[in-house]
Amino acid sequence: MSDYPASYKGRFAPSPTGPLHAGSLVAALASYLDSKARGGKWLVRIEDVDTPRCIKGMDIVIMQQLAAVGLFSDETPVYQSQRSPLYQAALDKLIAQNKVYGCSCSRKDVAAAIAKANPSAKPRHGELVYPGTCQHGMTQQLAPSAQPAWRFITNGEVKSHIGDFVLKRADGCFTYQLAVVVDDALQGITHVVRGADLLDNTPRQMALQQALGYPTLQYLHTPLVMSEDGEKLSKQNGAQALDTSNPLQTLNIAAQALGLGQQNCSVAQALSTWTSHWELKRTQFS
User: Which residues make up the interface to Zn ion (CB under 5 A)?
Assistant: 103, 105, 133-134
Q: What is the 3-state secondary structure (H, E, C) of 21-40?
A: EHHHHHHHHHHHHHHHHCCC
Taking the complex as a whole, how short is the minimal distance between the CB of residue 134 and Zn ion, in angstroms? 3
Residue with Cβ nearer Zn ion (86 or 134):
134
End-to-end CA distance of the chain: give it in Å, rounded: 25
Nearer to Zn ion, 166 or 192 (CB): 166
Residue 35 burial by Cβ neighbours in a 10 Å radius (0-12, 13-18, 19+): buried
What is the nearest approach in angstroms of Zn ion to the Cβ of residue 150? 11
> In angstroms, rounded to a whole number, what is the distance separating the alpha carbons of residues 14 and 43?
11
Least distance in angstroms from the C-beta of 152 to Zn ion = 13
Q: Where are any strands of DSSP class E within the chain? A: 9-12, 41-46, 78-79, 100-103, 149-152, 166-168, 191-195, 218-222
Q: Give yes or no for a contact between 147 and 95, defined as CB atoms under 8 angstroms apart.
A: no
Nearer to Zn ion, 43 or 134 (CB): 134
CB of 136 to Zn ion, least distance (A): 11
Residue (114 or 185) nearer to Zn ion, CB: 114
Nearest approach, Cβ of residue 12 and Zn ion (Å): 35
* β pairing state of 149-152 and 100-103: antiparallel
Give the total residue count for the chain.
286
CB closer to Zn ion, 134 vs 208: 134
Nearer to Zn ion, 121 or 196 (CB): 121
Strands (E), 118-199: 149-152, 166-168, 191-195
CB of 105 to Zn ion, least distance (A): 3
